[in-house]
Structure 1
Amino acid sequence: MICPMCGLVVGDRVIDVGSEWRTFSNEKSTKDNSRVGGPENSLFDGSDMSTMIATGPGSDGLRDQFGKPMYRNRRTMNSSDRALHVAVREIRQMADRLNVPKMLVDRANNLFKQVHEGKSLKGRSSDAIVSACMYLACRQEQVPRTFKEICAVSKTSKKEIGRVFKLILKNLETNVDIIKTGDYMSRFCTLLGLSNLLQKAATHIAKKAQDMDLVPGKSPVSVAAAAIYMASQASDDKKTPKEVSDVTGVAEVTIRLSYKAIIPKAVELFPKDFKFSTPIECLPLN
């Protein structure tokens, strides 16, 4: 390895750490150029590999051209491991669509394995269990996603995911922190392209609205959406209810109703150092 600028020899013995694409199979028709199988997965026991040797005469494909028995590696997987493999693949696909880190995927995999081995949810849809495990993993890793977001990348309904989620909490005897508006605020504001000052103001508005009990019965996501809408309307970077709805997943009607409930107390909700582009008295009433 030589520097192209000055000719300095950086290294004279470089080891290629890439894959060795030679095949050691004695099957002529094979196109598999890998020496080994896939990487070991800690979720499985590692007992899904076996070797089969042809012994009976006339076993086409299991003997070579000289009539000698051939060794063939094959995967023999029971139904339990097969279900785990399918779940792992689905969790990975959901994680790619949700754009979440790998550590969250590992947690969701472990949650599914615990539920699967416990057989406490036998008879429930595998898709619902996978979706509920992904939702629970997001909550436990402090990067929560809404039920609607999970439902959008799942094959099951929001109602079923919520039902299975509660069953998993009960059977695994675990709990999660209560969701707050601040848990979603950073991601929602980033997706809307709002500044840090607007995010800070929206977070303050949502927290004060909940402390003052202005929106009883409303979910934290709905309150966060209304707070973002209010903060944006008071700034130069105004967002419509539809834009906020597209990002948060909250219906426009719900955003307007929540906003209508908190606008009378707008003077008390905004931070004292907030710089208004639109005065409070000029803010829309719905």
Structure 2
Amino acid sequence: MDHGRDHCKYCQKVTEVVEDRTGGCYVCSECGFELEPYLDYHSEWRTFSGDVEQKDRSRGGQITDDYISGKANLSFVVVASNDKHKDLIRTHNRSSQFTDNDRILLKGVSEINIISGRMNLTARVVEKAKSYFKAASAHVQNQKLLTIAALAAAAVLQACRDDNKAFSLKEVCRIAGVREKDIGKSLKILKSSKKKNEKTAVAALTVGDYTARFCSELDLSQHTNRFAQAIAEHATKRGYCGGKAPTSIVAAAIYFASQLSATPKTQKEIAAVVGVSEPTIKLAFKPLYENRHDFPCQEFLQGQDIDQLPCI
């Protein structure tokens, strides 16, 4: 077919034929009808680092991965369910192109992707977690007690703290299936592996950081969210819940505020979202109830009486 001027079989006109490289077809410039498939015969780009200085490069092959060495980027095996393919994958992974550090990085990046997917984290936080893991990955080989999963979970937690994402240590432990002790050890290693110009110290989260997310997961209104945040911040300032974790105070504050709202939540519902037990909510709620008249609640009560708050 002469793709300069041609006869369109749809609009029955002699028209200019346009190459649509995005859609992969030839298109009639008059009516937009797709005449036939388009094949791009231009040269492709490759990921080989040695071809950087060449003008005519090819882009065929796998995308370069910043977290593994150049040789390991050159090939991959398509996963299948039968045993022969599994043997091929096993042999491929044991090949000389993959170093021990490459295998650790691949496993760690996979763990980070799984954890961050469950936590709905942004791409920026995920990339930061991967960079933290890569910086400390050498310690996995040197310390037998340090697991890849623990270091990956610690990297995600550190990235969340740096980006002011309110996720507690217990939440990350529950999502990643790793013990708190192991994540704590991994956080120390991350701190020792940081660059001089990087800030990797775990910032202390306040009760206000947690309230909005937990209220959102409980489908509570913005009014109830502000009410619970005011209660949690006032209780922390006055020391009513001294020694208790921020998540425990937030859980009790949400229970306090929800009981005086149009959509009250049970302790069981709040405990499932916050990740604390019902007895923990009761212990944290007791001093809030005893000092209920001291809270700045007038602007949030909307005509209700503070004494309507149930005693547990």
TM-score (norm 1): 0.76
Aligned to 2:61: 37
CA contact (8 A) 1:236 1:277 kept: no
CA contact (8 A) 2:61 2:74 kept: no
Per-residue CA deviations over 1:192-248 (Å, capped at 9, x if unaligned) read: 000001100111110000000000111111111110000001112111110100110
2:69 corresponds to 1:48 = no
Q: RMSD between aligned alpha carbons? A: 2.9
2:204 corresponds to 1:178 = yes
Aligned mates of 1:75, 1:97 — CA distance in 2: 34
1:126: Cα distance to partner? 1.4
> 1:239-250 counterparts in 2 under 5 A?
239-250=265-276
Aligned to 1:97: 118
1:36: Cα distance to partner? 3.1
Per-residue CA deviations over 1:9-66 (Å, capped at 9, x if unaligned) read: 9x94422267x899x9xxxxxxxxxx73321122234233579xxxxxxxxxxxxxxx
Distance 1:121 1:238, change over 3 A: farther
Aligned mates of 2:164, 2:275 — CA distance in 1: 19
Identical columns (%): 30
Per-residue CA deviations over 1:60-101 (Å, capped at 9, x if unaligned) read: xxxxxxxxxxxxxx8811111111011101110111111111
> 1:1-286 counterparts in 2 under 5 A?
12-16=18-22, 36-48=60-72, 76-117=97-138, 122-123=143-144, 124-172=146-194, 174-276=200-302, 278-286=304-312
Aligned mates of 1:13, 1:170 — CA distance in 2: 56
1:257: Cα distance to partner? 0.6
Bigger RCO of structures 1 and 2 (CA < 8 A, at least 6 apart): 1
1:183 is paired with a residue whose SS is helix
Distance 1:191 1:121, change over 3 A: farther
1:263: Cα distance to partner? 1.2
Aligned mates of 2:161, 2:142 — CA distance in 1: 20
CA contact (8 A) 1:50 1:75 kept: no
Distance 1:211 1:170, change over 3 A: farther
Aligned mates of 1:121, 1:237 — CA distance in 2: 53
Aligned mates of 1:85, 1:120 — CA distance in 2: 14
Which ranges in structure 2 are unaligned for 5 or more consecutive residues?
Answer: 1-14, 25-38, 45-58, 76-94
Distance 1:176 1:46, change over 3 A: same
Amino acid of the structure 2 residue aligned with 1:129: L
2:126 is paired with a residue whose SS is helix
Which ranges in structure 1 are unaligned for 5 or more consecutive residues?
Answer: 1-8, 25-34, 52-73
Distance 1:145 1:50, change over 3 A: closer
Aligned mates of 1:102, 1:213 — CA distance in 2: 38
2:165 is paired with a residue whose SS is coil
